[in-house]
Amino acid sequence: MSSFCSVISQSSFSISFPHFPLLTFQSHSPSSLFLRKSVNLGCTRESPSIKIHSSLTDFSVDVAVEEKKLIKGETWSVHKFGGTCVGSSVRINNVADVIINDDSERKLVVVSAMSKVTDMMYDLIHKAQSHDKSYISALDAVAEKHSLTAHELFDGVDLATFLSNLHQDVTNLKAMLQAIDIAGHATESFTDLIVGHGELWSAQILSYVVKKKGTPCNWMDTREVLVVNPTRADQVDPDYLETEQRLNEWYSLNPSKVIIATGFIASTPQNIPTTLKRDGSDFSAAIMGALFKARQVTIWTDVDGVYSADPRKVSDAVILKTLSYQEAWEMSYFGANVLHPRTISPVIRYGIPIIIRNIFNTSVSGTKICHPSIIENEDRKILRNYVKGFTTIDNLALVNVEGTGMAGVPGTASTIFSAVKEVGANVIMISQASSEHSVCFAVPEKEVKAVSKALQSIFHSALYAGRLSQVAVIPNCSILAAVGQKMASTPGVSATLFNALAKANINILAIAQGCSEYNVTVVLKREDSIKALRAAHSRFYNSETTIAMGIIGPGLIGSTLLDQLRDQASTLKEESNIDLRVMGIMGSKLMLLDDSGIDLVKWREIREEKGEVADLEKFVQHVHGNHFIPNTVLVDCTADSVIASNYDDWLRKGIHVITPNKKANSGPLNEYLRLRALQRQSYTHYFYEATVGAGLPIIGTLRGLLETGDKILQIEGIFSGTLSYIFNNFKDGRLFSEVVAEAKEAGYTEPDPRDDLSGTDVARKVIILARESGLKLELSDIPIENLVPEQLRVSASAQEFMQKLPKFDQEFMQKQEDADNAGEVLRYVGVVDVINQKGSVELRRYKKDHPFAQLSGSDNIIAFTTRRYRYQPLIVRGPGAGAQVTAGGIFSDILRLASYLGAPS
């Protein structure tokens, strides 16, 4: 096909296609394209050539205007408003007010296209290339959007002028899209020319609004001024010398203290229309800031500033008051929604601060990006957080090239990355051990197949000969980056990061840290990405220990624990930096869930109002997975064996477990051993102090003896507060049934006293201590002396049992009298005989001067006979029953967990 050409005269230009009708594009000033020199829009053999010629007479210039010299420096401030800021007439009005209210002497405003318009313009081109005629109606919709906005904002001559220009632009665009439709292809220059119209229209609209509000201004089509050199498909480099010359010329003809400039668009040195690619408006603002040597560049957006982490993933993320250029650069590279790295480059040379602010919340000062020296002078407090921010990149794969033949062989890394370059893959991170045995690097997952194939091909001989052992691909990876300029001079930052990840049970696949130490990068499995982000952020920004809690069983003990947490939570946070948040409360029928923490003052009322049907799986998922807190603990305050059967699964998921429920530890031996093994093999903790002595430190004391090398010989104790109360009061001629009834009335017994008198509960405590001492016993191995008369064990109800119990008072009275005559007392005890590897639960007699005879009320007492305490046993004594002391024992385990997770002890 022969070439075609287009010539623009002072009033119009035409495009002639061989064998196709003549297309004429009208030119007007100032909104249509005008350039000072001949413009080539991309002539190739495959695509037609279009040449646009224009002279300075294409736009209106008052030759009588005296040339003005551009004064640069601190009097200028630069503002950039993104698409959401100018997305409607109301928002454009707000932007105009911000511009007018800024007290800077001179202002340059860079404006994006209205929200979604750039995407709509790209879609027009796509439709035209696909021969989809709906591009005509789609373009009309874009025009209608701008026409309606203009009607809402201004009127009179300004409105007529804008609408006329808009109409001419749309006419020309339709002709250009028709040409693309005919050719089935759009050159890059054609594409850039079309999509840049959104900025042209929004800049004109904003300039008319500012003038209507009484502030004189000029608008700038930055294609007249900004010259860039394309370097690759997604990047351009500004030509500052040529741009500065053109800027001076433009300003001499358009002097103003307020300039509204188009973002995103520019020209090449050959005057070909181009764009600054995605995020180009921010880049435009930074370039203009550098050219004007402005006091500052303010990027107005729809967020309050730069966050310490993605607030959609970490709800406790905080606004950073300051960032260094390097920190912002690093965070941008690793995926943070800060600024594109290239946006920062133009302002660094002159030390011009960039401010990120929210157009919808102007009361917030935002984030200042500047030199570190300014940060130290302005905000010393922020330096306590040596890691400023955390970012993640998902959908990556890790490639590992490994083999002994790599060590000491020059050029291996060069060969690897040359192959990667050939397939056009982007290397996100590289890690190599000093042994040179392996090189691993992360690439986008969509590119890893090509990378692997290229490496397999180029290293085919080395793999066959065994010099390389493998080219392995680990899919489904993510990167977590910790960024902070002060990290470089602060020991222990990496250790703290890795410790936080380890305690959240997260495995690290690879690590990289540059010598600048501005960031530490780790690769991990994608499913751990959000959890890792929350764990790391929590460690550096939240309390030293923030723990999400789920309380299962809000009965007497559970509700008492919740009340204790309510009374103590604020004190713990203020004095010990322990932040305990109850994210869920579940009973047998209802559960209450909250994303940020339940109000423990009103939890009962809220549960009645907002409670939902109890669902254990949903409850666990909510507490563990749907919030920003990395450390999770489930507190089982029930005596339910079904709940206890879930402990293994919870621990495997990295959920800590605390419970007074004896069912798991006294159940099948293999299940107990599995739980203990899980606890030892991971950073997940399983605490159950309250299973034996309520609030007494029985398990802790036993472990302390064993861990310091002592040998347990025997453990003997009164483990039931109920039975302690009964036998402490079964004296002086009182009837056994009378004392049991008294204990039941006082609330010491279970609703059915047979549950206490059977001795099963004591046996469970004995088996727990036996297993903790190293004995591998089942509950069935423990002989139990059942205090329930055999005839009453089948009684239909507790009431029937209590009615018939007096018939057996004489039997119990005889035992008591026999003991009393011998100068002894009756005590119901559990015994762990470690030497003979057995245990028992029975009614024993003790001399009246024995420690077990000195008890009162419902106290428990446990005696440890060990190699160190052989002749005088170690005694632990105190209240062993009651909701307050049991809940206190659970609370103590919670605080012990906090201590293990890093809270001050």
* Catalytic annotation present for 421: no
Tell me: pLDDT of 255 over 60.
yes
Q: What is the pLDDT of residues 449-478, one digit of tens each?
A: 999 999 999 888 888 887 788 889 999 999
pLDDT of residue 900: 85
Specify the amino acid at residue 255.
P
- For residue 876, which of 753, 717, 726 has the smallest C-alpha distance? 717
Tell me: pLDDT of 28 over 80.
no
**In sequence order, what are the beta bridge partners of 49?**
none
Q: Which two tokens stand for residue 286?
A: 């930074």
Tell me: pLDDT of 363 over 70.
yes
pLDDT of residue 35: 35
Where in 484-544 does DSSP place strands (E)? 508-513, 519-525
d(CA 508, CA 532): 10
d(CA 139, CA 127): 11
Which region among 460-464, 649-653, 736-740, 829-833 has the lowest average model confidence (pLDDT)? 460-464
- For residue 310, which of 481, 513, 475, 494 has the smallest C-alpha distance? 481
For residues 513-529, give the mean pLDDT: 84
Which region among 25-34, 229-238, 818-827 has the lowest average model confidence (pLDDT)? 25-34
What's the pLDDT band for 65 if we cut at 50, 70, 90? very low
Tell me: pLDDT of 825 over 70.
yes
**Structural domains of the chain, ranges and CATH numbers in brackets:** 12-301 (3.40.1160.10), 393-480+487-513+528-538 (3.30.2130.10), 546-692+892-900 (3.40.50.720), 699-881 (3.30.360.10)
pLDDT of residue 808: 94
Q: What is the pLDDT of residues 207-233, one digit of tens each?
A: 999 999 999 999 999 999 999 998 865
pLDDT of residue 64: 40
Q: Which two tokens stand for residue 891?
A: 């609370």
Q: What is the pLDDT of residues 680-722, one digit of tens each?
A: 877 789 999 999 988 899 999 999 999 999 999 999 999 998 9
When the pLDDT of each residue in the chain is averaged and rounded to a whole number, the result is 86
pLDDT of residue 747: 80
Q: Which DSSP string do the residues of 773-810 spell out, in sequence order?
A: TT----GGGS-B---S-GGGTT-SSHHHHHHHGGGGHH
pLDDT of residue 517: 65
**pLDDT over 90 percentage in the chain:** 65
Q: What is the pLDDT of residues 737-784, one digit of tens each?
A: 999 999 998 888 888 999 999 999 999 999 999 999 999 999 999 999
For residues 352-367, give the mean pLDDT: 94
- For residue 716, which of 863, 841, 844 has the smallest C-alpha distance? 863
Q: Are 654 and 752 in contact (CB under 8 A)?
A: no
What's the pLDDT band for 434 if we cut at 50, 70, 90? low
Catalytic residue among 211, 388, 662, 765: 765
- For residue 113, which of 124, 127, 102 has the smallest C-alpha distance? 124
Q: What is the pLDDT of residues 658-687, one digit of tens each?
A: 999 999 999 999 999 999 888 887 778 999
**In sequence order, what are the beta bridge partners of 267?**
227, 273
30: cis peptide before it, omega within 30°? Answer: yes
**pLDDT over 70 percentage in the chain:** 88
pLDDT of residue 138: 96
Higher confidence at residue 278 or residue 84?
84
d(CA 471, CA 463): 9
Q: What is the pLDDT of residues 257-266, one digit of tens each?
A: 999 999 999 9
Q: What is the pLDDT of residues 122-179, one digit of tens each?
A: 999 999 999 999 999 999 999 999 999 999 999 999 999 999 999 999 999 999 999 9
Higher confidence at residue 19 or residue 130?
130
Tell me: pLDDT of 32 over 70.
no
pLDDT of residue 500: 84
Which region among 99-103, 154-158, 487-491 has the lowest average model confidence (pLDDT)? 487-491
pLDDT of residue 24: 39
Q: What is the pLDDT of residues 848-887, one digit of tens each?
A: 999 999 888 888 999 999 999 999 999 999 987 778 989 9
d(CA 503, CA 389): 20
pLDDT of residue 11: 34
Q: Which two tokens stand for residue 230?
A: 């394309």
Specify the amino acid at residue 4.
F
d(CA 847, CA 618): 55
pLDDT of residue 803: 94
pLDDT of residue 573: 84
Three-class DSSP labels, 156-194: HHHHHHHHHHHHHHHHHHHHHHHHHHHHCCCCHHHHHHH
Tokens 């001076």 sit on residue: 248
